[in-house]
Amino acid sequence: MERLTGIGVSPGVAVGPALVAIQRTQVLRFPVGPDGVARELSALERARQRSHSQLEQIRRRIAAARGADLAAIFDAQLLMLDDPILVGRAAAVVRNERVNAEWAVQRALDEAAAVFDDIDDPYLHERKGDLHDVAGRLRMNLREDKGGARDRLQDLDAPCVLIADELTPSVVAQLDWTRIKGFATDAGSRTYHTAILARSLGVPAVVGLHDVSRRVPPGASVIIDGETGDVVIDPTPALWQEAEGRATVSRFAIVAPEESGPLQTMDGHPIVLHANIERSDDVPSALGAGAQGIGLYRSEFMLVGGPPDMAAEDEQYHVYRQLVERMEGRPVTIRTFDVDERQLARPLVDAALDARWFPEPQRSGHAGLRGVRFGLAQPRIFKTQLRALLRAAAHGPLRIMFPFVSSVQEVRDARTLLLEARQELTSRGIAVPEVPVGIMIEVPSAAFTASLLAREADFFTIGTNDLIQYTLAVDRTDDRVSNRYEPLHPAVLRLLRQVRRAATHEGIPVSVCGEMASDPLLLKLLIGCGLREFSMTPGAIPMARRVVRETSARQMVRVATRVLTLGTVEEIERYLEDEIAKNEVGSEG
């Protein structure tokens, strides 16, 4: 038995086996039973075989297009895939520790990468990238096989307690809180979102435990006491029994709501909630969660693992058309490929794989030839996509959106290519409807010139994930500064207000599609800043609906006005927490 003490941020007691989620690598670690071990091992083998044939296919294609030298890169990857260092070691981890295969692959990768690090040889250092690629491909194939974190959670026999290094809103939103009795995290002092989130979910929570995610073995029995801040690992039977008697029944559970109709704040302001998705297969979960449309379709994901001609116009057209049709008349905003220069050196189909493998902050951490810049530099690829989009627009309300815009000139140039794409279709005898063309505001230069850009675009979507990191010059992958990634930084809030005002002034719609919108507290503040449309990961929508209904827009406008006069993140956080807490007490009373 071991007792750790952190900061209790949401009262109540939770008991159960531990589900350990490590966000750093975006991999969930969870225990599997004896049957589960065999299942995980065969999933691992299937993923290996699938990865093998994908790599073979890529190698053949590259050999044909670019010659044998370049293709040899993939020989190295094939060898790694068959080397016991990765898959063999992962299988051993599954067997010995009785954990899921995806986690085991991550563990094998970390160990192998550490060995490469220790060897002072530039050639081997370069091979580390290949190792990451191969492990990424394996994990991708494992995920395809077994579904997302939420599906995996359904495999657990009993409800559990969640132990995590940190909890970001998007992960919280993916989880099925009917099965999670409470949570404990390494991170967090009085971190606003974790505390508010726990209270809003009505689940016991302890934060600021520093290394609880390393100390708790997956599946271990854990007691979380959100009042005292105690977390007990492997308690005595007597303690367990006593805690079970005090265990809290969660006040709320986030489950997909049955309702999905129009939504408004407590004081009657209409709010629109759309979903961010990557595949048209995500449509049922978006609709099930209550999405009123698709606010961001990350089209680059469409290229993942597909056949080489996946990016052909007809293939794309079918994907977009299917998406629009599945949404049955609801609006769909498709973002053109947001791939970057590192990926340009490789064939496009493989390029997009990187986007899938890298954790979110990492893949959006590049300021090179990406987004609309990529499109302008590769007009053939860009126009192929634009033609496919224009054709699909005949089947439903589709909007085209350019990512990573940083100047008016780029928008004009992109629109010129769009016009050419339209003319090419017309000359083929294909009629094309009018399609709204919007831009993502995710680069500070775009935010600063929002009033000029608003005259060039039919709508704005604010991508706070990138906007925050570029405004604050914080690379989220760099541990030394990642704690400075502050959505509540006064600079970020001022920019958001400026963009919203520019859009209102020109009479164009503006929405927010970054992760910021799926944090309950920040969502309230965004409503206070005058924003009314949001797009988020489907899992976050049920919670956001509840937050919206419990929010007074009038109160939040007053709060936001005051927030914008405060100088530090800490002051803003404290003020917001106090105001929201007053409101919570007020509405309960």
Catalytic residues: 193, 513
Question: Whole-angstrom Cα distance, residue 211 to residue 553?
Answer: 39
- Structural tokens at position 334: 């498709």
Residue with smaller CB distance to ligand PEP, 536 or 543: 536
Q: Site size for Mg ion, by CB under 5 A?
A: 4
**Minimal distance, residue 469 CB to ligand PEP, in Å:** 8
Among 102, 442, 486, 573, binds Mg ion (CB under 5 A): 442
Question: Whole-angstrom Cα distance, residue 11 to residue 224?
Answer: 10
* 447-486 positions binding Mg ion, by CB under 5 A: 463, 466
170 binds, among ligand PEP, Mg ion, none (CB under 5 to 8 A by kind): none
Q: Kindly indicate which of the ranges 4-12, 129-137, 226-234, 461-469 contains the residues binding ligand PEP, using the contact rule CB under 6 A.
A: 461-469
Residue 478 neighbours by CB distance under 10 Å: 12
351 binds, among Mg ion, ligand PEP, none (CB under 5 to 8 A by kind): none
Q: What burial class does residue 44 get, using C-beta atoms within 10 Å of its C-beta: 0-12 exposed, 13-18 middle, 19+ buried? A: buried
Q: Considering only the C-alpha atoms of the chain, give the largest distance between any 2 of them, rounded to a whole number of Å.
A: 80
Among 226, 514, 520, 539, binds ligand PEP (CB under 6 A): 514
Among 200, 292, 299, 364, binds ligand PEP (CB under 6 A): 364
User: Considering the rule CB under 6 A, would residue 365 count as an interface residue with ligand PEP?
Assistant: no
Residue with smaller CB distance to ligand PEP, 213 or 465: 465
Question: Whole-angstrom Cα distance, residue 463 to residue 466?
Answer: 6
H or E segment and range at residue 450 = helix 450-453
- Residue 361 in 3-state DSSP? helix
Residue with smaller CB distance to ligand PEP, 260 or 276: 276
User: Considering the rule CB under 6 A, would residue 513 count as an interface residue with ligand PEP?
Assistant: yes
- Spatial CA neighbour of 149 closest among 211, 92, 80, 100: 100
Q: What is the DSSP secondary-structure string of 553-579?
A: HHHHHHHHHHHTT--SHHHHHHHHHHH
Residue with smaller CB distance to ligand PEP, 47 or 353: 353
464 binds, among ligand PEP, Mg ion, none (CB under 5 to 8 A by kind): ligand PEP
Q: Kindly indicate which of the ranges 35-43, 45-53, 162-170, 460-468 contains the residues binding ligand PEP, using the contact rule CB under 6 A.
A: 460-468
Residue with smaller CB distance to ligand PEP, 456 or 466: 466
Q: For 148, how many CA atoms within 13 A lie in the half-sphere containing its CB?
A: 14
Residue with smaller CB distance to ligand PEP, 285 or 461: 461
**Minimal distance, residue 463 CB to ligand PEP, in Å:** 3
**Minimal distance, residue 552 CB to Mg ion, in Å:** 31
Among 193, 269, 298, 321, binds ligand PEP (CB under 6 A): 298
At 564, phi and psi to the nearest 5?
Answer: -70, -5
Question: Whole-angstrom Cα distance, residue 215 to residue 358?
Answer: 26
User: Considering the rule CB under 6 A, would residue 466 count as an interface residue with ligand PEP?
Assistant: yes
Residue with smaller CB distance to ligand PEP, 51 or 292: 292
Contact pattern for ligand PEP over residues 319 through 358, marking x by CB under 6 A: -------------------x--------------------
Q: Which own/partner contact pairs does 275-282 have at CB distance under 8 Å and 24+ positions apart?
A: 275/535, 275/536, 275/537, 275/538, 275/541, 276/513, 276/535, 276/536, 276/537, 276/538, 277/538, 278/302, 280/319, 280/322, 280/323, 280/326, 282/538
* 486-545 positions binding Mg ion, by CB under 5 A: none
User: Considering the rule CB under 6 A, would residue 447 count as an interface residue with ligand PEP?
Assistant: no
Residue 60 neighbours by CB distance under 10 Å: 13
Among 465, 537, 552, 555, binds ligand PEP (CB under 6 A): 465
513 binds, among Mg ion, ligand PEP, none (CB under 5 to 8 A by kind): ligand PEP
Q: Which residues pair with 460 in a beta bridge?
A: 439, 510
Q: How far is CA 398 from CA 297, 426, 435, in A?
A: 11, 18, 7
**Minimal distance, residue 495 CB to Mg ion, in Å:** 15
Among 208, 463, 538, 539, binds ligand PEP (CB under 6 A): 463
User: Considering the rule CB under 6 A, would residue 168 count as an interface residue with ligand PEP?
Assistant: no
Q: Kindly indicate which of the ranges 112-120, 311-319, 463-471, 526-534 contains the residues binding ligand PEP, using the contact rule CB under 6 A.
A: 463-471
**Minimal distance, residue 465 CB to ligand PEP, in Å:** 3
Question: Whole-angstrom Cα distance, residue 26 to residue 260?
Answer: 29
- Spatial CA neighbour of 310 closest among 342, 351, 345, 277: 351
* 352-381 positions binding Mg ion, by CB under 5 A: 364
Contact pattern for ligand PEP over residues 518 through 557, marking x by CB under 6 A: ----------------------------------------
Residue with smaller CB distance to ligand PEP, 23 or 364: 364
Question: Whole-angstrom Cα distance, residue 200 to residue 143?
Answer: 30
- Structural tokens at position 105: 């692959």
Residue with smaller CB distance to ligand PEP, 81 or 517: 517
Q: What burial class does residue 252 get, using C-beta atoms within 10 Å of its C-beta: 0-12 exposed, 13-18 middle, 19+ buried? A: middle
Q: Site size for ligand PEP, by CB under 6 A?
A: 11
**Minimal distance, residue 343 CB to ligand PEP, in Å:** 14
Write down the H helix ranges in 83-191: 89-97, 101-118, 122-146, 149-155, 169-174
User: Considering the rule CB under 6 A, would residue 511 count as an interface residue with ligand PEP?
Assistant: no
User: Considering the rule CB under 6 A, would residue 442 count as an interface residue with ligand PEP?
Assistant: yes
Q: Which own/partner contact pairs does 89-97 have at CB distance under 8 Å and 24+ positions apart?
A: 90/44, 90/138, 91/41, 91/44, 94/32, 94/37, 94/40, 94/41, 94/44, 95/37, 95/41, 97/217, 97/218
Question: Whole-angstrom Cα distance, residue 443 to residue 465?
Answer: 10
**Minimal distance, residue 11 CB to ligand PEP, in Å:** 34
**Minimal distance, residue 515 CB to Mg ion, in Å:** 10
Q: Which residues pair with 160 in a beta bridge?
A: 180
Q: Kindly indicate which of the ranges 2-10, 266-274, 315-323, 462-470 contains the residues binding ligand PEP, using the contact rule CB under 6 A.
A: 462-470
Judged by the rule CB under 6 A, the positions of this chain that interact with ligand PEP are 296, 298, 338, 364, 442, 463-466, 513-514
Judged by the rule CB under 5 A, the positions of this chain that interact with Mg ion are 364, 442, 463, 466
